[in-house]
Amino acid sequence: MNEKPAPSLASRWIILAIIGVACYGGYYAFDYIGPLAPLLSRQLHFSNTDIGSLQAVYSFPNIVAMLVCGVIIDRLGTRKSLSIFGALIFIGLIITALSPRLGVMIVGRLLVGSGGEALALTANVGVARWFWHDGLSLAFGLRGSAARLGSLTAQVSPAWAPHAYRYWRWPLLLGVGFGGFCLLGAAVYWVLDARGERKFTLGHAARDTKISFGEAFRFDKSFWLIAALCITFYGCIFPFETFGQKFLIEARHLSPQTASLLIGMEPFFSLIGMPIFGLLVDRYAHRSLLMMFGSLLIVPVFPMLGYTNIAPAIPLAMMGVAFALVPAVMWPALVYVVDKSRLGLANGMLDSVQQLGLVVINLLIGWANDHWLASAANAAGYHAGLWMFTAIAVAAVFIAFALWRVETGPSTHGLETITTRI
């Protein structure tokens, strides 16, 4: 019996496009709370802590659930997993839009979060499944671009759908519509992946062997440094997006449309830059060094926003470049530091620690803004939160430096040296 060939170029890019459709809807669902924050504050009288809770609760179940999801992916495979998690997102979006009560919205966000991060996790494993032998970082970068396009669409929604922001429920109903992309992508992926499995030799597959959660704690030093970087780097990005539009409106006195476009620069730069950085990493390597440089870019962003008259577009552009660079390198790096049969578990652990960081930081920044009475009448009340972001960014730089030291020493996995063809 002849061995099946590697996936064809056309089949790989079609699969990547379908995974991107599902991720587009999932990331819209994650990011649409930030643009809605001023409306929730004005019409429903939600506090900064309430708004931070809506975003934190997205992450809260995933502290543990991502480990479970990683095992589910390793056991059920990517087809079933993508369908289950896409359905969770869609149901959660519907529940979030049902009632103005914070408790009901929190239940909806719990479901959206449980499905959203798991869907992104499945997408990572799905990309590795089809691109394991070449073009991996470029493929991850393009997958990331589709996700960032979803984020960008959500962040700038006050600009392209201003009439929807006259009433708090209408943007939530928009979210339900975008959640349909998760279901569509999962359905088409099921058909194409099943067909591809019969024709090609693919990577990660569903396994009947027992997978122990304890294996997650036996990953080595490079994995845990990547996990720590994941907490600190994303801890600067996503919680800032939660409060960023409110900050720009109240502290920089910008219109909601302008603030949404400025915050939208972050996913826009990431959308454009991730494939470029992925291509460069595939060709030239130096993964840990690039992660350190990307983390360093974020450090001056928050003091520039809080203490200077520099146009916000400049520091937010710096954050956008970092948001393109670090994720384009970080997630595909897992393929080199863990066994391919445990990619689901490894991605799950990485996402779990990231979600723990996001829960803590979202709640911390929301509390700080309320404690120091951050508002349009007291712009200085935002300074404490900005300094917290700065400290987290500095920690990210030191962690990335430690990773670089490991990967240039005797315990390297080749993050600084491995190159691949397209």
pLDDT tens, position by position, 96-111? 999 999 999 999 999 9
pLDDT digits over 49-93, tens only? 888 888 778 877 777 777 777 778 878 888 999 999 999 999 999
413 in Cβ contact with 407 (< 8 Å): yes
Average pLDDT over residues 384-390: 96
210 falls in which pLDDT band (50, 70, 90)? low
- The CATH number assigned to the domain holding 273 equals 1.20.1250.20
Residue 237: inside a domain: yes
The residue type of 181 is F
421 falls in which pLDDT band (50, 70, 90)? low
What percentage of the chain exceeds 70 in pLDDT?
Answer: 95
> What confidence score (pLDDT) does residue 125 get?
85
- Which range has the worst mean pLDDT, 10-24, 35-49, 95-109? 35-49
Q: Per-residue DSSP letters for 255-314?
A: -HHHHHHHHTHHHHHHHHHHHHHHHHHHHH--HHHHHHHHHHHHTTHHHHHHH--S-THH
> What confidence score (pLDDT) does residue 419 get?
83
| List of residues 6+ apart from 35 with CB closer than 8 A | 154, 155, 156, 157, 158, 165, 171, 245, 256, 260, 263
130: containing domain: 10-201+215-407
346 in Cβ contact with 223 (< 8 Å): yes
> What confidence score (pLDDT) does residue 214 get?
63
Residue 219 has pLDDT above 90, yes or no: no
> What confidence score (pLDDT) does residue 370 get?
92
Average pLDDT over residues 225-245: 92
pLDDT digits over 159-197, tens only? 899 999 999 999 999 999 999 999 999 999 999 998 988
pLDDT digits over 328-351, tens only? 899 888 888 887 667 777 877 888
Angstrom distance (rounded) from CA 116 to CA 88: 8
> What confidence score (pLDDT) does residue 206 get?
56
pLDDT digits over 121-147, tens only? 899 888 888 887 677 778 888 888 898
Residue 415: inside a domain: no
Residue 4: inside a domain: no
> What confidence score (pLDDT) does residue 389 get?
97
Angstrom distance (rounded) from CA 180 to CA 93: 10
pLDDT digits over 303-330, tens only? 999 999 999 999 999 999 999 999 989 9
User: Minimal CA–CA distance to 28: which of 169, 159, 185, 156?
Assistant: 156
Residue 278: inside a domain: yes
- CA–centroid distance for 67 within its chain: 17
Residue 142: inside a domain: yes
Residue 206: inside a domain: no
Angstrom distance (rounded) from CA 137 to CA 131: 9
Residue 184: inside a domain: yes
Residue 263 has pLDDT above 60, yes or no: yes
- The pLDDT mean for the chain works out to 88
1 falls in which pLDDT band (50, 70, 90)? very low
> What confidence score (pLDDT) does residue 282 get?
85
Structural domain count, the chain: 1
Residue 110: inside a domain: yes
154 in Cβ contact with 31 (< 8 Å): yes
> What confidence score (pLDDT) does residue 205 get?
60
